[in-house]
Structure 1
Amino acid sequence: MSDHDDRLRYRLLTGPDDAEFCRRVSAALAEGYRLHGSPAMTFDGQRVIVAQAVVLDDGTPRILPA
């Protein structure tokens, strides 16, 4: 991470449900992002398309609902 961090705090990753999409999500997690919400899926008539929101983890402790 550089002194000037120009990463977006929120990203929505989308694409076909394949290994490349999983690599993109894994890369975002390795870069300091965390999953935000559940993934979404749809079918475009030929393939399954997925979306996963990620947010930049700033280290602030989070209180999860019980």
Structure 2
Amino acid sequence: MKEKQKIYRFLTGVDDADFCHRVTEALSKGWELHGSPSLAYDGTAGVMKCGQAVVKYVEPFDYSRDVMLGEK
């Protein structure tokens, strides 16, 4: 039996409720937080932006750059 394969995503966006919903949606689909969130001020847009890495273990598959990780 093959071990599960770990996949990784980094979610980014403006620090607002929509971003929080995107992270919560990922968590509800089996993704787990990986590390701490990051925050940075975008002076051009005048907003705070944030990012959060998430990981998930899935059945092994042949990886390619065409894989839609958010759909795994």
TM range (shorter): 0.7 to 0.9
Which of these residues, 11, 21, 34, is aligned with residue 13 of structure 1? Answer: 11
Give the Cα–Cα distance (whole angstroms) in 1 for the partners of residues 35 and 8 of structure 2.
12
**Count, aligned residues:** 51
| Paired residue secondary structure (1:15) | strand
Q: Which whole-Å deviations, capped at 9, do the CAs of 1:8-57 have from their partners, x for residues lacking one?
A: 81000000000000000000000000000000000011000000000004
TM-score by length of 2: 0.67
Moved over 2 A (4+): none
Write the mapping of 1:2-41 to structure 2, written as runs, cut at 5 A.
9-41=7-39
TM-score by length of 1: 0.73
| Counterpart code for 1:29 | L
Unaligned runs of 5+ in 2: 1-5, 59-72
- Which has more strand, going by share of residues? 2
Match of 2:54 in 1: 54
Overall identity of the aligned pairs, in %: 51
Greater relative contact order (Cα 8 A, min sep 6): structure 1 or 2? 2
